[in-house]
Amino acid sequence: MTDKKIYAARKIFTGEHWLNDHAIVCENEVVKQIIPSNDVEVFTKTFDTILPAFIDLQLYGAYAKLFSVYPEIETLQLIHQYCKQGGAYWFQPTVATNTTEIIHKCIDAVRAYQIAGGEGCLGLHVEGPWISKAKRGAHIENLVHAPTIEETKALLEYGKGVISMITLAPEVCSDEVIELIKSYGVVISIGHTNCTFQQANEAFNKGINTATHLYNAMSGLQHREPGLVGAAFLHNKAMASIIADGHHVDFSAIKIAQQMMGERLFLITDAVTDTTEGAYPHLREGDKYVASGILSGSALTMMQSVKNMIEHVGADKTVAIKMACIGPAKAIRLDNTIGRIAEGCRAKFIATDEILDSILMI
Q: How many CA atoms lie within 13 A of 238 on its CB side?
A: 28
Q: How many CA atoms lie within 13 A of 302 on its CB side?
A: 36
| CA 169 to the chain's CA centroid | 18
For 15, left (φ over 0), alpha (ψ -120 to 50), or beta?
A: left
Helices (H), the chain: 73-85, 100-115, 149-158, 175-183, 197-205, 227-234, 251-261, 302-308, 317-322, 326-331
Bridge partner residues of 172 (DSSP):
none
The answer to whether 279 touches 334, Cβ cutoff 8 Å, is no
Tell which CATH architecture fits domain 4-51+343-361: Roll (2.30)
Residue of 245, 270, 287, 357 marked catalytic? 270
Q: Is 270 a catalytic residue?
A: yes
Cβ atoms within 10 Å of 316's Cβ, excluding its own: 11
pLDDT at 146: 98
Cβ atoms within 10 Å of 179's Cβ, excluding its own: 11
Whole-angstrom distance, CA of residue 2 vs CA of residue 28: 6
pLDDT at 14: 98
pLDDT at 278: 83
The answer to whether 270 touches 88, Cβ cutoff 8 Å, is no
The answer to whether 128 touches 144, Cβ cutoff 8 Å, is yes
List the pLDDT tens digit at each of the 362 positions of the chain: 789 999 999 999 999 999 999 999 999 999 999 999 999 888 899 999 999 999 999 999 999 999 999 999 999 999 999 999 999 999 999 999 999 999 999 999 999 999 999 999 999 999 999 999 999 988 899 999 999 999 999 999 999 999 999 999 999 999 999 999 999 999 999 999 999 999 999 999 999 999 999 999 999 999 999 999 999 999 999 999 999 999 999 999 999 999 999 999 999 999 999 988 888 888 899 889 988 778 889 999 999 999 999 999 999 999 999 999 999 999 999 999 999 999 999 999 999 999 999 999 99
Closest CA to 323 of 3, 13, 11: 13
The answer to whether 242 touches 210, Cβ cutoff 8 Å, is no
Q: Which residues contact 113 (CB under 8 A, 6 or more apart)?
A: 73, 76, 77, 121
Whole-angstrom distance, CA of residue 194 vs CA of residue 111: 33
pLDDT at 41: 83
pLDDT at 333: 97
The answer to whether 52 touches 348, Cβ cutoff 8 Å, is yes
pLDDT at 289: 93
Fold of 54-331: TIM Barrel (3.20.20)
pLDDT at 240: 98
Q: Where are the domains of the chain?
A: 4-51+343-361, 54-331
